[in-house]
Chains A and B, each alone.
Chain A
Amino acid sequence: MNRLLISILIAFMAIINSMHAKTITVCNSCEVTSIKKAIALASDYDTIKVKKGTYKEYNILVDKPLTIIGENYPVIDGELKGEIITITSDNVTVDGLFIINVGTSYTEDYAAIRVQKCKNFLIQNVVLEKLFFGIYLEKARDGKVFHNKIIGDAIEEYNSGNGIQLWYSKNILIEHNYVERVRDGIYLEFSDDCTIKNNVSANNLRYGLHFMFSNNDIYRDNTFESNGAGVAVMFSKKIKMYNNIFKENWGTASYGMLLKEINDAEIIGNTFEENTIGINIEGSNRIVYKNNNFINNGWAIKVRGACYTNSFLSNNFLYNSFDISYNSNINDNVFDKNYWSNYTGYDLDKNGIGDVPYRPVKLFSYIVNRTPETIILLRSLFIDIIDFSEKVSPVFTPDNLLDNNPKMKKIEW
């Protein structure tokens, strides 16, 4: 009860505050011609309106709860001198700015917008170009990054930054952003309880989305296209991955999704299309893969080792060069009720489930794992013959790695 009263009081105060709040307009011919000056003049909860024009400013420090709104995308040009906007106060909104020319440094991570140790911020409708780091959230929480466009021009990994970076941040919503040509599209490090949805991350040098030591996050309905690797999830727990599209991550060392030391995750309803490796799994346990589509990948799933108690249920494996690659003879993972386009069995009782179990690991994929050079024999008649003989009587591939209930028709959901 007390809590409710306090929150009502706070809301009330906020309303009173907002009634008091004034608007400061910034334009090239106005009284105030720079954003820095406007911030200095402003008091708490004021609004700063930036009119169309070019403002050559950097190191703008926002240390009061302000709303900065750009009209018709005013350009803030950092002239490659350093960081552009640094937010250190709670309750800041940045809306509708066009920020270019962030400085590049090898010792400091200059960002277009950095949010430092604060809460309840909102960054929306911002366009960033020629950047080093884009939006950098540092020990921030309860904020929202919405509908921004980040277009980098990264060529080398070592001298480029990430589009949206979260570091020790909590409960952040990242929605409807478009990130391309940076190092990592979206990067989460030590960041928990974040939601990432409806974003598009394309043509990035390294990863479209990258998790490190981040737990309980959820990402859904995103598209990851033509990145070095679509998504890398590493050393994290309880990540939920729903309905994302991973496509055309194609190259000699490219993945749709890279899982390393991941536990208790859920991967449901995703589409992996035309990736060199759909999912690369290493040291990951208790993961549920359900209702995913694997279409036209080189390898749909590559299991590297130390993966236990994972379950692959009701997925579609369509026209992949290799469905599953496995490098050990021990199998503790479950494959059940998937549809495999390479399945050649029959269904006499017409219940939609094949009467012969399907073995997803081919002998050739086992050989390729051992000696990668042998892949040049791909699609040779000899390989087809040994694959067939292995299928009839498995010797090298794990004996119990089979789908006992392979579906006869593609699964729709």
Chain B
Amino acid sequence: MLKILKYSFYDLMRSRWSYVYFAFYLLLGIVLLFLNNDLSKAVITLMNVIIVLVPLIGTIFGVMYYYNSKEFTELLLAQPLKRSSIFLGQYLGVAISLSMSLILGLGIPFVFYGLFKSTAIWDFSLLLITGTFLTFIFTALAFNIALSNENRIKGFGYAILLWLFLAIIYDGLFLMTLIIFEDYPLDKVSLVGTMLNPIDLSRTLILLKLDISALLGYTGAVFKQFFGTNFGLMVSFVALVLWVVLPVSRMTFKSKKKDF
């Protein structure tokens, strides 16, 4: 598995897209810091970008990589290798290289700007951690979609739909539910609602850390009480880990059964 991981990783490191992705974040970080002159402000703006872009790129890139390297995968399958290690290797290769682009691309300008001396360092690391989680989650989901669909167009369609659903439509439905059931106590519902969507979960985690919590009023107090404690933080990280583990296990399960 490690060999395949290494191969995928180096393959991706050499590819143009990783550089473009890396350069994009580098530019974003520099421009943000240049325009804002304020680290904590930049972290907030960055959050908006990360919450939307990281999942999108994770899904698209994951699907693209799977379809592009399909012939190579088939070649590998002919070798005496475990199927799970082939797919896990490829998945980890993609996810790790994407996360690296993210971490380095954003990290370098911030470090040069004096991150280590700033108080925003914890917020920033939380941002990177959630960003990495999102990459792992959405790449895994993308591999699932690609494995289940032989047709590339369909695969891409589903991938974009998935992103659209989790990033936008879910929030719309969520909002509708909250408004329709406004006469009922909604704290628990909203808590569960955010837990179920990794994008919402990361957004809430970062927002609460950034001291916007007071804005959130009573609901915010409930959230703060939950996420503010170690238990809440643990639960939300467990939720994020589950979001990685479940798609990955489905992927290995599916890959074992699949007829190539």
> Do these two chains really belong together in a complex?
yes
Once bound together, how far apart are the Cα atoms of A194 and B221, in whole Å? 38
Binary interface encoding of chain B residues 191-224 relative to chain A, with 1 for a CB under 8 A from any of its CBs, else 0: 0001000001001100100011011111111010
- Determine whether the beta carbon of A374 is less than 8 Å from that of B178: yes
- Determine whether the beta carbon of B217 is less than 8 Å from that of A375: yes
Once bound together, how far apart are the Cα atoms of A334 and B216, in whole Å? 28
Contact of A379 among B48, B211, B217, B219 (CB under 8 A): B48
- Determine whether the beta carbon of A376 is less than 8 Å from that of B216: yes
Q: Does A383 contact B (CB under 8 A)?
A: yes
Among B169, B178, B207, B211, chain A packs the most CB atoms within 10 A around the CB of: B178
CB proximity of A295 to chain B, nearest CB, Å: 12
Decide: A377 near B214, CB < 8 A? Known: A370-B182, A382-B168, A385-B168. Answer: no
Q: Does A367 contact B (CB under 8 A)?
A: yes
Once bound together, how far apart are the Cα atoms of A373 and B172, in whole Å? 14
Q: Does A254 contact B (CB under 8 A)?
A: yes
Q: A250 contacts which chain B residues (CB < 8 A)?
A: 211, 214
- Determine whether the beta carbon of B219 is less than 8 Å from that of A321: no
Contact of A383 among B52, B171, B218 (CB under 8 A): B171
- Determine whether the beta carbon of B217 is less than 8 Å from that of A371: no
Q: Does B84 contact A (CB under 8 A)?
A: no
- Which residues of chain A in 362-411 are interfacial with respect to chain B, using CB atoms and an 8 Å cutoff? 367, 370-383, 385
Q: Does A226 contact B (CB under 8 A)?
A: no
- Determine whether the beta carbon of A252 is less than 8 Å from that of B182: no
Once bound together, how far apart are the Cα atoms of A382 and B186, in whole Å? 20
Q: Does B147 contact A (CB under 8 A)?
A: no
Binary interface encoding of chain B residues 179-196 relative to chain A, with 1 for a CB under 8 A from any of its CBs, else 0: 100100011001000100
- Which residues of chain A in 17-44 are interfacial with respect to chain B, using CB atoms and an 8 Å cutoff? none
- Determine whether the beta carbon of A374 is less than 8 Å from that of B175: yes
Q: B217 contacts which chain A residues (CB < 8 A)?
A: 252-253, 372, 375
Q: Does A65 contact B (CB under 8 A)?
A: no
Q: Does A161 contact B (CB under 8 A)?
A: no
Decide: A376 near B223, CB < 8 A? Known: A250-B214, A298-B215. Answer: yes
Contact of B174 among A251, A276, A377, A381 (CB under 8 A): A377
Once bound together, how far apart are the Cα atoms of A100 and B145, in whole Å? 73
Q: A385 contacts which chain B residues (CB < 8 A)?
A: 168
Q: A376 contacts which chain B residues (CB < 8 A)?
A: 190, 194, 204, 216, 219-220, 223
- Determine whether the beta carbon of B204 is less than 8 Å from that of A381: no
Decide: A254 near B190, CB < 8 A? Known: A370-B182, A371-B179. Answer: no
CB proximity of B57 to chain A, nearest CB, Å: 15
Cβ-closest chain B residue relative to A275? B214
Once bound together, how far apart are the Cα atoms of A372 and B167, in whole Å? 21
Q: Does B103 contact A (CB under 8 A)?
A: no
Cβ-closest chain B residue relative to A276? B214
- Which residues of chain A in 320-378 are interfacial with respect to chain B, using CB atoms and an 8 Å cutoff? 321, 367, 370-378
Cβ-closest chain B residue relative to A376? B190
- Determine whether the beta carbon of B207 is less than 8 Å from that of A382: no
Once bound together, how far apart are the Cα atoms of A375 and B215, in whole Å? 8
Q: Does B51 contact A (CB under 8 A)?
A: yes
- Determine whether the beta carbon of B178 is less than 8 Å from that of A373: yes
Decide: A375 near B220, CB < 8 A? Known: A254-B214, A370-B179. Answer: yes
Q: B204 contacts which chain A residues (CB < 8 A)?
A: 376
- Determine whether the beta carbon of B215 is less than 8 Å from that of A321: yes
Q: Does B106 contact A (CB under 8 A)?
A: no
Q: A254 contacts which chain B residues (CB < 8 A)?
A: 214
Cβ-closest chain A residue relative to B180? A371
Decide: A379 near B47, CB < 8 A? Known: A276-B214, A298-B214. Answer: yes
- Determine whether the beta carbon of B175 is less than 8 Å from that of A377: yes
Decide: A367 near B179, CB < 8 A? Known: A376-B204, A380-B203. Answer: yes
- Which residues of chain A in 97-130 are interfacial with respect to chain B, using CB atoms and an 8 Å cutoff? none
Q: B190 contacts which chain A residues (CB < 8 A)?
A: 373, 376
Decide: A381 near B219, CB < 8 A? Known: A276-B214, A321-B212. Answer: no
- Determine whether the beta carbon of B168 is less than 8 Å from that of A252: no
Cβ-closest chain A residue relative to B174? A377
CB proximity of A255 to chain B, nearest CB, Å: 11
- Determine whether the beta carbon of A382 is less than 8 Å from that of B47: no
Decide: A380 near B215, CB < 8 A? Known: A371-B179, A373-B190, A374-B178. Answer: no
Decide: A378 near B179, CB < 8 A? Known: A373-B187, A373-B190. Answer: no
Q: A372 contacts which chain B residues (CB < 8 A)?
A: 217-219
CB proximity of A16 to chain B, nearest CB, Å: 62
Once bound together, how far apart are the Cα atoms of A376 and B219, in whole Å? 8
- Determine whether the beta carbon of A382 is less than 8 Å from that of B215: no
Q: A298 contacts which chain B residues (CB < 8 A)?
A: 212, 214-215
CB proximity of A270 to chain B, nearest CB, Å: 21
Q: A251 contacts which chain B residues (CB < 8 A)?
A: 214
Once bound together, how far apart are the Cα atoms of A321 and B215, in whole Å? 9
Q: B223 contacts which chain A residues (CB < 8 A)?
A: 376
- Determine whether the beta carbon of A377 is less than 8 Å from that of B212: no
Once bound together, how far apart are the Cα atoms of A385 and B174, in whole Å? 15
Cβ-closest chain B residue relative to A321? B215
Q: B52 contacts which chain A residues (CB < 8 A)?
A: 381
Identify 12 residue pairs between A and B in the complex whose beta-carbon atoms are under 8 Å apart, listed by A's number: A250-B211, A252-B220, A321-B212, A321-B215, A373-B178, A373-B186, A374-B175, A375-B215, A376-B220, A378-B215, A381-B51, A382-B168
Additional A-B contact list (15), CB under 8 Å, known A250-B214, A298-B212: A253-B217, A298-B214, A298-B215, A372-B219, A373-B182, A373-B187, A373-B219, A375-B216, A375-B219, A377-B171, A377-B175, A377-B200, A378-B216, A382-B169, A385-B168
**Which A residues lie at the B interface, using CB under 8 A?**
250-254, 276, 298-299, 321, 367, 370-383, 385
Which 5 A-B pairs have CB atoms at the shortest separation, nearest pair first? A382-B171, A298-B215, A373-B186, A371-B182, A380-B171
